[in-house]
Amino acid sequence: MSAQAQMRALLDQLMGTARDGDETRQRVKFTDDRVCKSHLLDCCPHDILAGTRMDLGECTKIHDLALRADYEIASKERDLFFELDAMDHLESFIAECDRRTELAKKRLAETQEEISAEVSAKAEKVHELNEDIGKLLAKAEQLGAEGNVDESQKILMEVEKVRAKKKEAEEEYRNSMPASSFQQQKLRVCEVCSAYLGLHDNDRRLADHFGGKLHLGFIQIREKLDQLRKTVAEKQEKRNQDRLRRREEREREERMGRRSGSRNRDRRRSRSRERRRRRSRSASRERRKSRSRSRERHRRHRSRSRSHSRGHRRGSRDRSSKHKSSRDRSSREKSRDRERKDKSSSERRHESTNGKSRSKRSEEREAGEI
């Protein structure tokens, strides 16, 4: 990879897909199913085992450092739970590796001579010491490359102790079986990367294996798988606790709602009882008032009837007296009218007689004059 490509990859890893405003790169989001979730979590076997004898080639899904940066930024705000997809991917890969290891063990058991359990245990001890020597040498080389010379020297001293134990174990193994069989190369399958290890491999061969990219890559994958399992278990436990807490809160709210409902029903019942009591009290008051009013009206009616009867009797008396007086008055007036009429008729008769007498007198006067 050129320096410019490395710089671009570093910028993508730090700033994500939106670092230079390229909209074409933002069309694929890290949540897309086409994106490798193991790559986002930096545990894809295609990346880890690249360049080894078990190189898996390119992954069928999208690998982009910028998408990994986007995922890291988004995962700080919310839990995306991509660990489950990555765990399934790594479990399938490790299961396939373990299957190859079992097949290799069966193949070795068919090709090599059968030995007793005691000799097999001694050979197993030699293999374990070889693994310890190889791991220590690989660690010492790594520390030396990092510049930590003192720690590297301490590990080399431990290597010498393990070599002495290995020499004793080889002597026990050689003495427990014939020389012809001891000279036969005894192989063992590595439990980590399923590679073949020889019983008589030298320290350089062991250091190259245990410090090699293939073995360390499988160690990284297995450690990442264990970490993902713990993380998924913790998150599932947390989700279960949150779900249980929400269920308890919901049940508590329902209980509180039922209690409040019962309280409200009790309150409504007490209020209705109180209203009924008030209504009954008011009705009784109204009945008492109506009774008192009816009694009062009855009393008033009786008093009015009594006063009316008294007034009626008085009125009848007054009317009779008034009628009598009016009759007397009318009779008196009639008598007066008759008297007036009589007077007027008498006066008219008198006047007529006077007029006739005057007329006669005037006639006689006139006749006399003549």
Residues 199/208, Cβ–Cβ less than 8 Å: no
Q: Coil, strand, or helix at residue 189?
A: strand
Q: Coil, strand, or helix at residue 30?
A: coil
Whole-number Å distance between alpha carbons of 269 and 271:
5
Q: Could you report the average pLDDT of every consecutive run of 10 residues in the chain (370 residues)?
A: 59 58 64 90 90 87 86 85 90 91 83 63 76 81 83 85 82 66 65 80 78 87 92 89 89 80 74 79 77 76 68 59 60 72 64 54 54
Query: What is the reported pLDDT for 2?
Result: 59
Query: What is the reported pLDDT for 117?
Result: 63
Whole-number Å distance between alpha carbons of 292 and 300:
12
pTM: 0.58
